[in-house]
Copies of this chain bind each other. A is one copy, B any other.
């Protein structure tokens, strides 16, 4: 399978959207879809869809379109999702609880399977079937659970410490919800979801009116 080594980053993010869309279409019983129709659903041009999909596989059939079942398989493989991924949540505040309660993170291919917090009042409580453990036990939680990813949902002031702890515990990728940049050593992936930034950018876009040229879609997070 010629999963090309160098998929452009923006394309990689879109591939995740294709995957979800294809899964959805597949469960709806749609066996096949063209780049045109996929693009329409996701707000992308047909050319873009074809280019992106060509990065991971020759999964289309000329004159017909893409076979959803094949595409789902190929995309999952491209994302390393043929095996499940386990994540630990650090920080069980408002955002943390929302994440724990969010259905897709209980069962899906990449799931939050454990949570830790430093507040004694929170430790021991249950959320979406997981019991919150102490911050100190993070290392053990990670080891015991075979956990590879960490999610940071602590206040900004504690985010860097949380990141350090996660790295020390052996996690290989971090998703940070705190509104600060965290630094991680080379070799650890780290992306950032910042809701305040999103809202601000939205305000800016509205403020600037339509004058921003109307490019097609984008999905995002920052990483290094």
Chain A interface (Cβ < 8 Å from any Cβ of B): 5-6, 9, 12-13, 16-17, 19-20, 41-43, 78-81, 85, 87, 94-95, 97-99, 101-102, 104-105, 108-110, 148-149, 151, 172-175, 179, 181, 183, 186-187, 189, 191-208, 210-224
Q: A79: nearest residue on chain B (CB-CB)?
A: B204
Contacts of A148 in B (CB 8 A): 206
Q: Check A203 against B79 for contact (C-beta < 8 Å).
A: yes
A95-B102, A197-B13 as given contacts; A20 in contact with B80, CB under 8 Å: no
Interface of A is mostly: mixed
Q: Check A181 against B43 for contact (C-beta < 8 Å).
A: yes
A43 to B210 alpha-carbon distance, docked (Å): 31
Residue among B85, B181, B203, B221 making CB contact with A149, cutoff 8 Å: B203
Q: A17: nearest residue on chain B (CB-CB)?
A: B197
A32 CB, nearest partner CB in chain B, Å: 20
